[in-house]
Amino acid sequence: MASELHRNSMNGGFSGDLLVDFIATNGSSNDDMTNKYRPRHHTVRRIAMSAFCALLTVAHFLFCLGAAEILPPEGSASTNCVFIEVRPGVFELGGIRFDQKARTASFRAAVNLREGPIEYVVVTTRGKIHESLLRTDVAPQHLHIAMLLLGAKGAGTNALSEDPARALPGDSVTIELSWTDKGRTRRVPADKFILDRKAKRTLKKGSWVYTGSRLRDDGFAAQQDGSIVSLITDPDALINNSRPGREDDDNWLASSKGLPPAETVVEVTLRLGR
């Protein structure tokens, strides 16, 4: 499997499914590994963590090989393949911190739009910033690596249907925003800042799906387009909205109620469902 990953990555055809298979074959990066190799004493735990760190290194290296020709978002940080272990089970990659036990990935973004029509919740500076609630400098390819290592599988080869009656393939995620206001940390679901025109209310919590984007001839689509969280059906985005109305790109508005001022830096936390 390792040679297959290497061969595909060298050909510019890295597959998220291959990485998932690689993790499954060599020991899972999250609950599967914990259950199968549940530590009985500190030595076993150290071995398990060492194995996970080695897996992370290989997975990251191979993905970077496959994304060698992918350009970073304009004005963003470099997509150099550097990561650190912050503490046991918590890692950082390109400004994204992901927690193996909590199954969360967090990164910083800025409030981009507080009113008007939107089609995206989060994009990079390469993305459609004229119609996105937030913008960020993190690389979608790094976020994809983090989510795969947390256990996400994405849509795989399954197509995304624009029919709202059909469920989207992928993994359930929630999206939370947090920021400091007068010395106090506020945590609010991103859903609260999006207005559904047809329903005449803000969104209910939940109903986001990690679909994982796809590879195109020009590279990893989410990285190329800068699309991270989409309100409309977008197979190139990492995360899609699964609610009714996702087929209508005029249905969504930014809601400024409770949203901090434009350019305020917030932390976006994605939590992968179990």
Q: Per residue in 52-83, pLDDT tens?
A: 555 554 554 445 444 433 344 454 444 455 77
Q: Which residues contact 86 (CB under 8 A, 6 or more apart)?
A: 92, 97
Note the pLDDT of residue 56.
Answer: 55
Residue ranges of the chain whose pLDDT lies below 70: 1-81
The SS3 assignment for 130 reads helix
Joined together, the tokens standing for residue 110 give 């800025």
Joined together, the tokens standing for residue 255 give 């809601």
Q: Which residues contact 166 (CB under 8 A, 6 or more apart)?
A: none
Note the pLDDT of residue 80.
Answer: 53
Joined together, the tokens standing for residue 14 give 């890295």
Calpha distance 69→55 (Å, rounded): 23
Note the pLDDT of residue 59.
Answer: 53
What are the sequence ranges of the domains in the chain?
2-272
Q: Is the dihedral of CA 239, 245, 250, 255 positive or negative?
A: negative
Q: Per residue in 144-179, pLDDT tens?
A: 999 999 999 999 888 887 777 788 999 999 999 999
Calpha distance 17→206 (Å, rounded): 25
Note the pLDDT of residue 31.
Answer: 39
Note the pLDDT of residue 19.
Answer: 42
Note the pLDDT of residue 165.
Answer: 76
Global pTM value: 0.75
